[in-house]
Chain A
Amino acid sequence: MWEPLLKFIKLLNSEQAPHQLSLGLAFALIVGFTPTLSLHNLLVLFLLLMLRANISAFLLGWAIFSLLGLLLDPLFHLVGQNLLSQSSLHEMWTGMYNNSFWRLSHFNNTILLGSLLISVLAFIPFFFLSNRLIRLYRERMQERFKTFSQRFTKLFKIGQFASRFSR
């Protein structure tokens, strides 16, 4: 339970640029919210590796957003269903449905469309917000937290060693 938290604090205290961490987390938002085995996630993977996004932040964020995504599934389903049943969009959906590429993307699934739309819309605001928060943390709180986190890490490691030894 504490390990991800420690890793996250480590990441925040590392030399990584804030935008790299934010980008990693923002990509994680898309992959975590939407069904993993989807075509668009191949593009996300490509962008993640091509852009200088932090992979550790992505992996950590993926785990967190996947759990959050499970809770938000009913909302995604509702949004996707509403969009797919909009009569004004019906022609567009029908056109896409008859196209192999879009069919492969599985856009006609209510949860996939709803989660993709919400995560893409949230991508840029989330990127800037997390960027701002990381900068604020580093400016105002990093020094205070550094000592605390170092002590906490030591304690955690001693605890881990003791629990292994006791087994």
Chain B
Amino acid sequence: MSQWIRWKGVIPFVLITTGLALFFLLFVDSVVKNIIDSTGSEMIGAKVETKNVDVHLSPLGITVDGLQVTNPQQPMSNAIEIEQIRFGLAGDKLLMGQVIIEQMDVEHVRFDTPRNKSGAIAKPTPAPPKPAGKPAKDSVDRGAPSPSVSTTEAEKKDDGMKMPSLDLPDINTILNSEPLQTQKQADAISASITRTEQDWNALQQSLPDDARKKSYEQRVASLEKTKQDDIAQLTQALKTLQSLKSDLNTDIGVINHARKQAQLSLNKLDTDYKALLKAPGEDKQRLLNKYTPDAQGVGNLSQLLFGNEANGYLQQGLHWYKKLAPMLTGDEEEEEAEEAERLTGRDIRFRENNPTPDFLIRRIHTSVQTTQGDFEGQILDVTHQPEIIRRPVSFVFSGQQMRGMDSLHIQGKLDHIDKKNTLDEVDMDLTRYKVARHSLSNDPNLQLVIDSALSNTRMRVKRRNGRLNGDMNIHISDIQYDNRAGGGEFQQVLVTAFNNVHDFNIDTYLSGSLEKPGLRIRSDLDQRLNKQVSAAFNRRIDKYKQELNSRIEAATEKQIAPVRASVEKLRTDIETQLKATEASYQNQRSAIDTQLGQYQTRLDKIKREYQAKSDAEKRKAEQAVKQQLEDKAKDLLKQFQR
């Protein structure tokens, strides 16, 4: 027995297991801290840092102090900073590989706080820069004047509601940067003209030439020696003329064929030419559409005023939704499951007596600090397996008696219980928010500032099965302005019109998908300002349109004029030459026909004269014979009587 059992072996076993336990106790805090920092940084794409992590065993739980999540777009500021996160863990479930947190307290959450050091992390390959100068119509609703709502870096940094510049783009810049369809068509038709000329040259080769025409004339001239009373010569002349006529007919056939071919080439040229004539119109329409606001755009001043800012908020909201929603619902894990299976196998789940997800936070209580004051909230049932607990992730935040507003209430849910039928929704009510020194314009010649006002906001946004649907209504009232205009007529009109408006509504409608969200903004401000502002705006736009129109016409006429001359010349050349050649041959054929007639008449006459002469001689001979016979008969009768 003793050769098999080593009783002293219990000592290293106890030492190893105790060593492992001690290692856990001593280093678990650092290990968890590193896991939070590295995993968080990888997920956010910027530094996630914790000041201290404490893992306590009795009761089992973790306390995280000083969590900072860097804003990836602005590395010198934190998107979120949390003073402390505390939570307890269910020990028995943890042994079974499940992380179950009954209550998590998240204290003193603050947004957009400054950082001492940049939180940017090096990326392996920088993203390629986005192409500049893309018209804003692609990102916001149709109807917004595209040059006016282009978003620059400077505008993005501004906090206020900035009215985009109403300056219309320089016409020279447009004409230099925009390729004209007319130019393309002109190039195409130049090639077409060259091709037609080549075809025509080839056809000319096949047409009867001057030598052939002279040979006909020589053959006709040779007939002049024909004796007019010689039947044989006349008959020979007739045969020659018939042959000449046949040759002429063949040549006229060749000319007709050439005419048809030339006509086909000219028709093709005509088609290209008509397309060229249409091109300036299309160019005008396209450039006018692209660079000048249409009637709808002029009327939709709210889009012009608030489009950029609303789009900025939307992009920011969607950015964080895309980052946070998969973490709360666990949708991102499914994509990696297949890959992980090959390395670590697959955990098969069986029916549980008391089903519990692998990860669950039943309740997160949080307090958020903002410049307007504190508000509190709770998030319930955070799990990546909502189908097990049959409850969606839900959240509610509310603040009362905050500075600059009466109340703020946000609630929503992320329902991913049925992965094929998901619904995420958020509702927000903000009452009596005090607006102060809010700028509507960044035009140096136009100061449009809401000095003070009250706003009530109500927002409902849903995302069902990937499709966004939402609306937000903002009512702004008790408005006091600090407006000044230093520019032209339009600015003056705008300031006067605004000074008469003391309350208005803004309605925002969201649609599309996360990848291609559509944002539409309507406001009764349009109706109130429309009459005065749009009239001035329209006058300006009409003038701009006229100028753009005439410049486009001048530019396109330069392309068309030489083409028009070339086409006309080619057409005239072809038709003139074909007509002349054909007329010449037709005349020659007519002359030959006449000559043929004359020769035939002459021949017939001679034939008739010969016939008459022959008949008279015949009759005379018959008469003589008859007389001889009568004389002979008489002689015979006389002899008989005798």
A→B interface (CB under 8 Å): 17, 35, 42, 45-46, 48-52, 73-74, 76-77, 80-81, 84-85, 90, 93-94, 97-98, 100, 103-104, 106, 108-112, 114
Q: Which B residues between 1 and 52 are near A, CB-CB below 8 angstroms?
A: 3-7, 9-10, 12-13, 16-17
CB distance from A18 to the nearest CB of B (A): 12
User: Known contacts being A77-B341, A98-B353, is A103 close to B96, with CB within 8 Å?
Assistant: yes
- What are the interface flags for B299-342 relative to A under an 8 Å C-beta threshold, 1 for contact and 0 otherwise? 00000000000000000000000000000000000000000011
The docked-state distance in angstroms from the alpha carbon of A90 to that of B347 is 15
The docked-state distance in angstroms from the alpha carbon of A42 to that of B14 is 11
Top 9 A-B pairs ranked by shortest CB distance?
A111-B345, A49-B9, A103-B96, A97-B350, A110-B345, A84-B348, A50-B9, A94-B350, A49-B13
Report whether B346 and A81 are in contact in the complex, using a CB–CB cutoff of 8 Å: yes
B9 contacts across to A, CB distance below 8 A: 48-51
Interface centre among B341, B343, B348 (most CB of A within 10 A): B348
Residue of A nearest to B13 (CB): A49
Q: B59 an interface residue at 8 Å Cβ cutoff? A: no
The docked-state distance in angstroms from the alpha carbon of A43 to that of B194 is 92
A42 contacts across to B, CB distance below 8 A: 17
B344 contacts across to A, CB distance below 8 A: 35, 109, 111
A106 contacts across to B, CB distance below 8 A: 97, 347
CB distance from A105 to the nearest CB of B (A): 10
Of the four ranges (under 10, 10 to 19, 20 to 34, 35 or more), the interface on chain B belongs to 20 to 34
Residue of A nearest to B3 (CB): A52
Q: Which of B4, B92, B341 touches A51 (beta carbons < 8 Å)?
A: B4
Q: Is the interface of A mostly helix, strand, loop or mixed?
A: helix
User: Known contacts being A49-B13, A50-B9, A52-B6, is A110 close to B353, with CB within 8 Å?
Assistant: no
Report whether B95 and A104 are in contact in the complex, using a CB–CB cutoff of 8 Å: yes
The docked-state distance in angstroms from the alpha carbon of A85 to that of B350 is 10
CB distance from A132 to the nearest CB of B (A): 18
CB distance from A108 to the nearest CB of B (A): 5
CB distance from A43 to the nearest CB of B (A): 11
CB distance from B98 to the nearest CB of A (A): 8
B6 contacts across to A, CB distance below 8 A: 49-52
Report whether A50 and B348 are in contact in the complex, using a CB–CB cutoff of 8 Å: no
The docked-state distance in angstroms from the alpha carbon of A48 to that of B5 is 10
Q: Which of B17, B97, B341, B348 touches A103 (beta carbons < 8 Å)?
A: B97
B→A interface (CB under 8 Å): 3-7, 9-10, 12-13, 16-17, 92, 95-97, 341-353
CB distance from A112 to the nearest CB of B (A): 6
Sample of 10 A–B contacts (CB below 8 Å): A49-B6, A49-B10, A73-B343, A77-B345, A84-B348, A97-B350, A100-B95, A106-B347, A109-B346, A109-B347
Report whether B12 and A49 are in contact in the complex, using a CB–CB cutoff of 8 Å: yes
Extra contacts, 13 of them, besides A77-B342, A97-B349, A110-B345 (Cβ < 8 A), are: A45-B16, A84-B348, A90-B350, A93-B348, A94-B351, A97-B350, A98-B353, A100-B96, A108-B347, A108-B348, A109-B345, A109-B346, A109-B348
CB distance from B21 to the nearest CB of A (A): 12
User: Known contacts being A51-B4, A77-B341, is A100 close to B92, with CB within 8 Å?
Assistant: yes
Q: Which of A50, A74, A81 touches B5 (beta carbons < 8 Å)?
A: A50
B7 contacts across to A, CB distance below 8 A: 50
Report whether B10 and A50 are in contact in the complex, using a CB–CB cutoff of 8 Å: yes
B351 contacts across to A, CB distance below 8 A: 94, 97
The docked-state distance in angstroms from the alpha carbon of A135 to that of B168 is 97
CB distance from B16 to the nearest CB of A (A): 7
Q: Which of B13, B92, B348 touches A110 (beta carbons < 8 Å)?
A: B348
The docked-state distance in angstroms from the alpha carbon of A17 to that of B571 is 112
Report whether A93 and B4 are in contact in the complex, using a CB–CB cutoff of 8 Å: no
The docked-state distance in angstroms from the alpha carbon of A42 to that of B6 is 17
A77 contacts across to B, CB distance below 8 A: 341-342, 345-346
Residue of A nearest to B345 (CB): A111
Residue of B nearest to A84 (CB): B348
CB distance from B596 to the nearest CB of A (A): 102
A81 contacts across to B, CB distance below 8 A: 346, 348
CB distance from B591 to the nearest CB of A (A): 101
Report whether A112 and B345 are in contact in the complex, using a CB–CB cutoff of 8 Å: yes
Residue of B nearest to A70 (CB): B343
CB distance from B352 to the nearest CB of A (A): 6
The docked-state distance in angstroms from the alpha carbon of A84 to that of B341 is 15
Residue of A nearest to B344 (CB): A111
Residue of A nearest to B16 (CB): A45
